[in-house]
Amino acid sequence: MDVTERFLKYAGFDTKSDENAGITPSAPGQMELARYLKTELETLGLEEITLDDNGYLFATLPANTDKQAPVIGFIAHLDTSPDMSGKHVNPRIVRNYDGKDIVLSAKGNIVLSPVQFPELLGHVGEDLIVTDGTTLLGADDKAGIAEIISAVAYLQQHPEIEHGKIRIGFNPDEEIGLGAHRFDVEKFGCEWAYTVDGGEVGELEYENFNAASAKVTFKGRNVHPGYAKNKMINSMLLAKRFMSLLPARETPEHTEGYEGFYHLTGVTGDVEKTTVSYIIRDHDREKFEARKQEIERLVNQMNVELGGEWILVEIKDQYYNMREKIEPVMHVIDVAFAAMEAVGVKPNVKPIRGGTDGAQLSFKGLPCPNIFAGGLNFHGRYEFVPVQSMEKAVQVIVKICSLTSSLSKGEGKSR
């Protein structure tokens, strides 16, 4: 199988994660895909293959050189986003894309258009894998899985390409922030690794948001509305006022690059009780801490005005910017940069406006920047991935393996 065949096969597994499941993996389809991949890796002849009860699949491509090269790894996640259905994914390939609208579903009048998605025009003449308009595609991150396995298979078929010991890892539940929680870094046994989970060709990322969640609960007092004067406290109106106090333009739809935000993700309530949920994001650690403090300050301010503890807030840190863990070992980035250039890809070093398993893994002792997988418009029906982008990702992975064969063990240690 080539990388396209692999991706189309993996897309058929429903691996949508579930943040309310309370188990790992959070949905049975992830384990089904892991078992299938385990069998495929066994057929390819990889070694040290393990699949644990939580859905973490590890395997080894042994070194084919006597050089004492560092052990490196490549990681991708099994799950797809809970934002949209991943069941009965029906992908098709649009050959030699002509730059015009792509009708995903004539019945549903669902069109993938360069008017709304101008990035399409960067892939004219390429072969695009698209959805049928009713599900997401799953290139995030089944494209990454297909690329890693295809690269390993290519190295097996070309023993003239020297490489050290290569570890691969596939984990569950990245999309709900739990992918790295039970990832056994010591068992994985690498000096450094790369997640293959980025977007457009050339993306190379070692900076991500610092992230926290905030749940703000507003208590109210319900009284018959005909007799409510000076008695009723409407928790929904308290919530409305609180939301109005946060900066109106510091939201995802108004920010880019290194700009952080407060993102309202949910509101539930009635007169007696209302809960609002936010995620807080910023690349700068000081600004991140200041954002959390601002939410607490506003809660305290409103409680003082109300004359009691009518508002409660719970803030939880989720992950931190991996930059501080990567900067001491920047040759990890240099290798990926050189590999991209060697295969004709222009590196695009940029901050991730989101998170990645690599961030948490970096703080667990495994430096782990992120490289492109080639997909675009993740998490929805307009997702697509060019075949040529996946092929380039395979080439980059192969080249990274080749370049690291000339390094010495210990190159990945902080210094």
Judge whether 79 counts as a catalytic residue: yes
| C-alpha to C-alpha distance for 99 and 159, rounded to whole angstroms | 40
The percent of residues above 90 in pLDDT, for the chain, comes to 92
The partner residues of 58 in beta bridges, in order of sequence, read 50, 169
**According to the model, what pLDDT value does residue 92 have?**
97
The percent of residues above 70 in pLDDT, for the chain, comes to 98
pLDDT reading at 236 higher than 90: yes
Q: Please pick, among 79, 173, 191, 207, the residue that the annotation labels catalytic.
A: 79
First to last CA, the chain: 41
pLDDT reading at 161 higher than 90: yes
Residues making up the chain, counted from first to last: 415
Residue 323 pLDDT level (bands cut at 50, 70, 90): very high
Judge whether 175 counts as a catalytic residue: no
| C-alpha to C-alpha distance for 204 and 60, rounded to whole angstroms | 24
**According to the model, what pLDDT value does residue 352 have?**
87
Nearest to 200 by CA among 395, 68, 70, 386: 386
Residue 355 pLDDT level (bands cut at 50, 70, 90): confident
What are the helix and strand counts (H, E) for the chain?
Answer: 10, 17
**According to the model, what pLDDT value does residue 410 have?**
60
18: three-class secondary structure by DSSP? coil
| C-alpha to C-alpha distance for 196 and 146, rounded to whole angstroms | 10
Residue 33 phi/psi, 5-degree rounding, is -65, -40
Residue 20 pLDDT level (bands cut at 50, 70, 90): confident
**According to the model, what pLDDT value does residue 376 have?**
95
Q: Are strands 57-61 and 166-171 parallel, antiparallel or unpaired?
A: antiparallel
Residue 414 pLDDT level (bands cut at 50, 70, 90): very low
| C-alpha to C-alpha distance for 241 and 123, rounded to whole angstroms | 46
| C-alpha to C-alpha distance for 361 and 174, rounded to whole angstroms | 12
Nearest to 371 by CA among 383, 380, 358: 358
pLDDT reading at 58 higher than 80: yes
pLDDT reading at 27 higher than 90: yes
**According to the model, what pLDDT value does residue 173 have?**
95
pLDDT reading at 325 higher than 80: yes
Burial class for 61, CB neighbours closer than 10 Å (0-12, 13-18, 19+):
buried
261: three-class secondary structure by DSSP? strand
Is residue 414 within 8 Å of residue 329, measured between CB atoms?
A: yes
**According to the model, what pLDDT value does residue 413 have?**
43
Burial class for 244, CB neighbours closer than 10 Å (0-12, 13-18, 19+):
exposed
**According to the model, what pLDDT value does residue 214 have?**
96
**According to the model, what pLDDT value does residue 411 have?**
53
195: three-class secondary structure by DSSP? strand
Q: Please pick, among 147, 174, 197, 203, the residue that the annotation labels catalytic.
A: 174
Domains of the chain, start order? 3-207+322-404 (3.40.630.10), 210-319 (3.30.70.360)
Summarize pLDDT for 123-151 with one digit per residue, the tens. 999 999 999 999 999 999 999 999 999 99
